[in-house]
Amino acid sequence: MNDLGKMLVAAGGALLLVGLALMLAPRIPLLGRLPGDMTFERGGMKIYFPLASSVLLSILITILLNIWLRR
pTM of the model: 0.60
| Domain boundaries, given as residue ranges, for the chain | 1-28, 31-71
Q: How confident is the model at residue 27 (pLDDT cuts 50, 70, 90)?
A: confident
In whole angstroms, give the CA distance from residue 20 to residue 2.
Answer: 27
Q: How confident is the model at residue 66 (pLDDT cuts 50, 70, 90)?
A: very high
- The per-residue pLDDT for 68 is 86
32 and 15 Cβ atoms separated by less than 8 Å: no
33 versus 55: which is more confidently predicted? 55
- The per-residue pLDDT for 9 is 93
53 and 37 Cβ atoms separated by less than 8 Å: yes
pLDDT exceeds cutoff 90 at 53: no
